Chain A
């Protein structure tokens, strides 16, 4: 059953210390900045966060890491020119890093949502990131066994949501949102537009409402009106 939250603080209020949280976005695109900032304000700590990166600049995930709330991050590409909050915590030994090839990260999240127990992937075979993992040769090709990443919460950003929780995204801001929405017990989506039932053509729904627990409207501020989102 979908809840429409009045604001981002209310939407994230029950996330407890120590939770595993999937956070959407690829760098800044698709990052649910307002939900993350609410998490910073709520004071929740000891989090395990799953994201492609480890924060950019000062806002969103970077602020959460900078505030010392993240115990462990699972990501593919932590080091960037503006990842100084992560870099400092990592060098000080204050954050644990699990580095995962990007496709394996996406598939580990997808399989969690799809009820798969584990899967064999060719990505990473023979590299340091497969060390200690079970391997198998299938039809002459080598594979590594990888396990799903299930989470307590997912925080994602979509372009438009309706009162059934159906979501559509916009351009490359879609990235991890649809798979993360499926892999958490509670998925919280911030949307730029909230429309009534029937406000989204069922043929173009990307994330069906069954995957979404809470929606919160976060209008685009002072940004030029984007063209029609799909």
Chain B
């Protein structure tokens, strides 16, 4: 199935911003959260000032504010994607070993990551396609995936050629085993539970049609 065909088929699907708003609305008041590079970064646009959510960036900061512009730009103050950001009142700085101890030690409530594939048991593949000649880079993905108390994934459900990215077993190199608890996609939100994947809600597609697309036994 081409992407265009997929677009036409699912008119109620969520766009990236609507999906980011949905993730933001599911983050509890007062949570400590790490947002991965790329699509997950959009979530910060939908965290209300009164949300009480504190953002962590693995290069050594809690209380990260929005992207810096103009005179705010300070090359000593960047996020994990090396984009200049700002600090909020109550922010703190710490070195890299402390930052990852914070993560690995289970002190962060939620991290939101992108993915190439997620398995029915919550295995995550998001760092390397395994393509010959590709230069591998992992960054903090493996630490984040297994460190935060909850790992949420944000991705399109289908690849460009219509293949489900929620799979029985990942075929790309793994980032972490059994670490994903929730998968937010343009077509549905999946809860990864000990006995399998549960569809929490879907967008522009019925359960039967979703089950036809996803080669993993789904429950409602």
B97 within 8 A of A: yes
A179 within 8 A of B: yes
Q: Which one of A30, A78, A99, A102 has the highest number of Cβ atoms from chain B below 10 Å of its Cβ?
A: A102
At the interface, is chain B mostly helix, strand, loop or mixed? loop
Q: Is there contact, CB below 8 Å, between B143 and A101?
A: yes
A109 within 8 A of B: yes
Residues of B100-145 whose CB lies within 8 A of A? 100-101, 103-104, 123, 128, 133, 135-143
Q: Is there contact, CB below 8 Å, between A127 and B174?
A: yes
Least distance between B113 CB and chain A CB atoms (Å): 14
Inside 8 A of A68's CB, which chain B residues have their CB? none
A27 to B135: give the CA distance in the assembly, Å.
17
Q: Is there contact, CB below 8 Å, between A174 and B93?
A: yes
Closest residue of B by beta carbon distance from A124: B142
Q: How large is the interface on B (under 10, 10 to 19, 20 to 34, 35 or more residues)?
A: 35 or more
A5 within 8 A of B: no
Select A174's contact among B82, B94, B128, B136, beta carbons within 8 Å: B94
A147 within 8 A of B: no
B202 within 8 A of A: no
Q: How large is the interface on A (under 10, 10 to 19, 20 to 34, 35 or more residues)?
A: 35 or more
Q: Is there contact, CB below 8 Å, between A123 and B82?
A: no
Inside 8 A of A132's CB, which chain B residues have their CB? none
Q: Is there contact, CB below 8 Å, between A172 and B104?
A: no
Per-residue 0/1 for A49-87: is the Cβ within 8 Å of any B Cβ (1 yes, 0 no)? 000100000000000000000000000111110000001
B75 within 8 A of A: yes
Q: Is there contact, CB below 8 Å, between B135 and A170?
A: no
Q: Is there contact, CB below 8 Å, between A175 and B59?
A: yes
Q: Is there contact, CB below 8 Å, between A101 and B76?
A: no
A73 to B104: give the CA distance in the assembly, Å.
25
Q: Is there contact, CB below 8 Å, between B138 and A129?
A: yes
Given contacts A106-B96, A126-B176, contact A172 B138 (CB under 8 A): no
A-B contact pairs, 7 of them (CB 8 A): A106-B95, A127-B142, A128-B173, A172-B57, A172-B93, A176-B96, A226-B76
